Chains A and B, each alone.
Chain A
Amino acid sequence: MNIAEHLPILVIVIPLMSAIVIPLVGRINKLFSWYVTVFITLLSFVMSLSLLNTVISAGRISYWLGGWEPPWGIEYAIDYLNAFVLVIVSFIAFIVSLYARRSIEKEIDKSKVTTFYSIYMLFIAGLMGIIVTGDIFNLYVFIEIASLAGYALIAVGKRRDALMASYNYLILGTIAATFILLGIGYLYMVTGTLNMADLREKLPMLYESKVVLTAFAFFTVGLSLKLALFPLHAWLPNAYTYAPSVVSAIMAATATKVGAYAMLRIMFTVFKLEFDLHIVPVTQILIILSLVAIVAGSVIAIAQTNIKRMLAYSSIGQIGYIVLGAALANQTSMTGSLLHILNHGLMKGTLFLVVGVVVYKLGIEDIAGLKGMGKKMPFTMAAFTIAGLSMIGVPLTVGFVSKWYLATGALSAGMWFIIPIILASSLMTAVYFWRIIEGIYFAAPAGIHQPAFAGYGNPEPESQGSKQVDGFLPRDDGPPGLLIPTFILAGLCIFFGIAAFIPVSMAGQAATMLLGGM
């Protein structure tokens, strides 16, 4: 038996099984459960890279579960798009799991640590499943696995506000998933198949059918809720704000991206491009919604005083970019959209990890509390600055690359009015990041830092941290266990900004595949 042949299923089965193993080894020693988590996420990253390599050299992989031939059996289909997103998700999962140990010892009850790792792996397995599967009902099941694990992850922290945030997400997430289930039901009703490639072949004859239109409407609304497109974003700010920092980081960097991936799959693989363009005006609607999301997300982010909430609203704006690129539906904009899936994952991942370090050291989430921290926590704040500049879209960072592709994509679609909106949003991003960066490096620290609430916080803020030397605090940075993962992500923000050709060539090929035939 050749192991490499079975990678498409192993990439899901191994994290899924580890979710059972982790609580067991955690009974021996809590640290073991962390070792297993790191090892398994690393293993899935390696497997994803190997899958990507196979796709590049040999083309689309089609794996038949249990050997049943596709339209009847479940097929796992991996092409450029899946492999690209799979590598991103597994990589970020690995980096965040490296970071998790030190961070959650502050933010989560000791008794819940092993359970946390177990649910974390379930969450990752669900996301990987959404990406890999080529069967539309399987997609629903994995969406629910990832969502259920997500609700639990948000609620695992010490803060009671997280419970209501998780509950609201559960209600909205269930509505979304049930809509998707209905959409699947309608498609099955008229085609009799659940396989995505088969649906693509069978649907064009039925494009005028009201049943298909209804199905498409359910899919669009359900997936927009899952990826938090602007008017349907209500669950996101509270969930990201009150969840533990690790959870905010992994959810912001991967969960909404996978939602975007699922939307691309449904819009461009299950349905064909001409359906989106000519039969229902879905692309126009999505362009308008995403522009509103871009502007509204940035405007609301400026008004925030809690840094996690600010990042959450900024995420809503960035999701707008991803959807915008997809809705413009030309080669350049689609490349930009796919690039932004990677780039936003890296940037938001870095930012939330930085917030995690700040919470670990200072126990605060207020923007005002970051004043003068440039001297006290130079490395943490350097990472924040890199990711912040990248969010603004400064050249030589990843943010510039994807915005460039989106802007030129808008031009080639003949929609010049989008460019000022992208520019205005970048300016607003500059406003809300610059006020923090300015405070970090040029303002005097605001005296002794009181923990914002009892759950987190440094037990001895009085001892070293508050002694003022020339108006600045002595250096007291986060532990290397937190800083190294943060810097890997921050470094990649710059690396892929300079060596942009690597992700661009991948995203370009995925975009060609999405827009042309498979």
Chain B
Amino acid sequence: MIELIAGKYNYWIYIALMMIGFYAMIAKGNLIKKIIGMNIFQTAVFLFYISTSKVKGGTAPIEWEHAILYDNPLPHVLILTAIVVSVSTTAVALALIIRIYKEYGTMEEDVILEMGEGETQDTEQRLHDLEDEIKDAELRLRDAEQIAKSVD
């Protein structure tokens, strides 16, 4: 039993990390916290892969005259690819969150769900409209001033 827990501790850590990440992805209401959970979740899988590559008594897979056994380099290479994937997923997720924050003004999922289907206006579009309105108002003000002057 002790052997099972202590001898394979890295696998236990991988399971624990994975569950922590999974929990955060499902239970957290904040969009950024979900992404943090997602990163922990993916990192746990990296740990799993790296653990499988270890050979008892093996050294790093670099040619060396005293080496008897080498660790398996292939999972390292696979995980390098998976890390790239993880980074790009995070990038896409963060980009989405930025746009969600611009549109809704919040990053809490339940608040966003309450807002429901809204109008489609971009913040930029709204800014544009406001600027136009200000210009209109200025023009009208100038007209009014001219009229006032002519009355005088």
Interface residues of A (CB under 8 A from B): 137, 140-141, 144, 148, 151-152, 155, 158-161, 163-164, 166-167, 170-171, 174-175, 177-178, 181-182, 185, 188-189, 453-455
Contact = CB atoms under 8 A, between A and B. Distances in A.
B89 A188 contact: no
Given A178-B41, A453-B119, A185 B52 contact: yes
A141 B97 CA distance: 24
B100 interface: yes
Contacts of B82: 140, 181
Interface in B43-59: 45, 48-49, 52
B120 A175 contact: no
Contact of A454 (B49, B104, B121): B121
B31 A167 contact: yes
A188 B120 contact: no
B contact residues, range: 35 or more
A163 B100 contact: yes
Interface in B92-147: 92-93, 96-97, 99-100, 103-104, 112-113, 117-122
A454 B119 contact: yes
Contact of B49 (A151, A164, A185, A453): A185
A303 B80 CA distance: 47
Contacts of B93: 167, 170
A304 to B, nearest CB: 14
A505 B96 CA distance: 45
Contacts of B31: 167
Given A160-B118, A167-B100, A148 B89 contact: yes
B96 A166 contact: yes
A192 to B, nearest CB: 8
Nearest to A454: B120
B100 A164 contact: yes
Given A140-B82, A160-B104, A175-B41, 12 more contacts: A151-B96, A160-B120, A163-B96, A163-B100, A167-B97, A167-B100, A171-B38, A174-B38, A175-B22, A175-B25, A178-B41, A178-B42
Contacts, number: 77
Contacts of A166: 96
Given A167-B97, A171-B34, A454-B120, A178 B81 contact: no
7 contacts: A144-B85, A161-B117, A163-B103, A166-B96, A174-B41, A188-B74, A188-B78
Of residues A144, A178, A188, A454, which shows the largest number of chain B Cβ atoms within 10 Å of its Cβ?
A: A178
A137 B78 contact: yes
A166 B112 CA distance: 14
Nearest to B81: A141
Of residues B25, B82, B100, which shows the largest number of chain A Cβ atoms within 10 Å of its Cβ?
A: B82
Contacts of B49: 185
A170 B89 contact: yes
Contacts of B74: 188
A516 to B, nearest CB: 32
A103 to B, nearest CB: 17
Nearest to B103: A160
A148 B34 contact: no
B112 to A, nearest CB: 6
A75 to B, nearest CB: 16
A148 B104 contact: no
Nearest to A166: B96
Given A171-B38, A182-B45, A155 B117 contact: no
A74 to B, nearest CB: 12
A171 B25 contact: yes
Closest 6 CB pairs of A and B: A455-B120, A160-B103, A144-B85, A163-B100, A189-B52, A167-B96
